[in-house]
Structure 1
Amino acid sequence: MSDQAEQERINQVYRQWHGGAGLAKHAWHRPDIVRQAAARARVLADLLPLTVGRDLSAVRALDVGCGGGGFLRQLIDWGATPSHLAGTELQPDRLEQARARTAPGVRWHLGQIDVFPDASMDLVSAHTVFSALLDEDLRRGLAAEMWRVLRPGGWTMIFDVRYGSPRNAHVRKVTDVELLRFWPAASRHYRTLVLTPPVGRTLAALPWLIPEALAMLLPPLRSHFIYMARKPETDRMV
């Protein structure tokens, strides 16, 4: 499949996910969605001080496939300077949502990340982007571009899924082997989080302590991960 054909496939899938039944399935007020967001925020609040630091005001960050801009708004809430942040997206409507909902000053770009200079960012992130890329070469190419944009000593951050879905052929899991191959680093962190969607939806009506306890006591039930890898200080662009 060509890069253009794969991009169009991804665009069609995301249009389905973010409209109609897909929108209702991921509605912000659903208990399982609320718990997912809270779990991700907790892990980020733990990892970011250990990596980019407690003071985010000077951090230059790029969110690849930024969607509606949620992660960049989270960084701003935690002290990041909007003019130091950037988001890229392939879908114009999603990018416009992000622009309208986020503080002025953030740089938005419709398209790939090749417009960003080498070693220009302290943090480069991608949230459920790689699982949408079914083609191995596209995954490898995007990972290399993220590594290129990251300065030596900076951190890449990947939030994605550990398991494939037998009901969704448009999602492919991201493996530990891929993470280590794409972003080789001596300094790295890997945290699992969030109950698998079927379990999370089943337990959504129960008191919050029950799904929280299951997620804590049974790691195999966690469907997502956050991986952060530090680019070596001695890394040189080829």
Structure 2
Amino acid sequence: MTAQLDHQAEQDRIASVYRGWHGGAALARYAWHRPDIVYQHAMRTRVLSRMLASTVGTDLGKIRTVDVGCGTGGFLRQLIDWGATPANLAGTELQEDRLDLARPRSAPGIHWHCGALSTLPTASADLVSAHTVISSVIDPEVRQQLAADMWRVLKPGGWCLVFDFRYNNPRNPHVRKVMRKELDAYWPGHRQQYQTLLLAPPVARALAALPALVTESLAALAPPLRSHFMYMVQKER
């Protein structure tokens, strides 16, 4: 019972943090039209497309996907643009207001679920993804449970996909970095892919007015300045 209460307290904390953040002034730094955000989106898309093609394959039409902490559904819409079938996609969220935004923006047929991942069926997905979700979970036990739930929902032979932070943000105590050794401990898969990407946001914002070649070259030549990673691991058949 104590563990359940601790898990609920962590979920309540996360929901409270995001309710206070979404719609606030801080969102202006992530506006879709900002040059640094445009660059970040392009880089994420390139890495994501390459990783997906080399793991789940280039035909996404039959891939069953669960996106954990799906927000307003951006990742699922990207998959649809690349050929995924809406009826094969599901998004989970702790905040109903995020799903209220996701539904009208997305194709009909996507399954939306407000609540914990633990209620979803075992071995029901070919791909389970989490984008800047694990870093939002501070409690180590709750992180472990989230990872276990993702692995449980994944079919044998399926892939987990994680996009998240490599470093702590000293200005944001509500998130904690995700280390490679954590990921390997969570999921004992036999195939992994890991790539760092994106200039740290303060650096990217400072260089936003310069030609894109400058930021791309710096990101390529100075790996320690890359603040995020993308990771995929396959569950053994």
Fold in common (TM above 0.5): yes
Residue type at the aligned position of 1:144: A
Greater shift, 107-116 or 127-136, is seen at: 107-116
Contact 1:16–1:22 (Cα < 8 Å) also in 2: no
Does the residue aligned with 2:32 lie in a helix, a strand or coil?
coil
Aligned residue in 1 for 2:126: 122
Listed as ranges, the matches of 1:66-77 within 5 Å are 66-77=70-81
CA–CA separation in structure 1 for the residues paired with 2:168 and 2:194 = 18
* Structure 1 SS opposite 2:210: coil
Distance 1:225 1:95 in 2: 26
Match of 1:107 in 2: 111
Q: What CA distance in whole angstroms lies between the structure 2 residues aligned with 1:9 and 1:205? A: 37
Q: CA RMSD for the aligned pairs?
A: 1.0
Amino acid aligned to 2:56 = V
Post-superposition shift, 1:98? 0.9
Report the counterpart of residue 163 of structure 2 in structure 1: 159
Partner of 2:142 in structure 1? 138
Between the aligned partners of 1:176 and 1:71, the Cα distance in structure 2 is 22
Aligned-partner residue type, residue 68 of structure 1: T
Q: Which residue of 1 aligns with 2:15?
A: 11
Match of 2:48 in 1: 44
2:39 aligns to what?
35
What TM-score do you get using the length of structure 2 for normalisation?
0.96
Task: Please name the residue that 2:225 is paired with.
Answer: 221
Partner of 2:84 in structure 1?
80
Q: 1:118, 1:64 → 2: CA distance?
A: 15
Percent identity over the alignment? 62
Structure 1 runs (4+) greater than 4 angstroms displaced: none
Cα deviation code 1:87-119 (max 9, x no counterpart): 000111111111111100000000011222111
Q: Distance in 2 between matches of 1:64 and 1:111?
A: 10
Gaps of 5+ in 2: none
Residue 26 of structure 2: which of 16, 22, 26 is its match? 22
Query: Counterpart of 2:230 in 1: which secondary structure?
Result: strand
Distance 1:94 1:24 in 2: 18
Deviation at 1:22, TM superposition (A): 2.0
Of residues 189, 194, 201 in structure 2, which corresponds to 1:190?
Answer: 194
How far apart in 2 are the matches of 1:16 and 1:216?
A: 35
Q: CA deviation at 1:11?
A: 1.2
Give the C-alpha shift of residue 33 in structure 1: 1.2
Structure 1 gaps of 5+ residues are 234-238
Query: Do 1:123 and 1:150's aligned partners in 2 also have CA atoms closer than 8 Å?
Result: yes
In structure 1, distance between residues paired with 2:23 and 2:36: 19
| TM-score, normalising length: structure 1 | 0.96
d(CA) in 2 for partners of 1:9, 1:26: 23
Q: Give distance in 2, aligned partners of 1:149 and 1:137.
A: 18
SS at 1:192 equivalent: strand
CA distance in 2, matches of 1:22, 1:99: 24
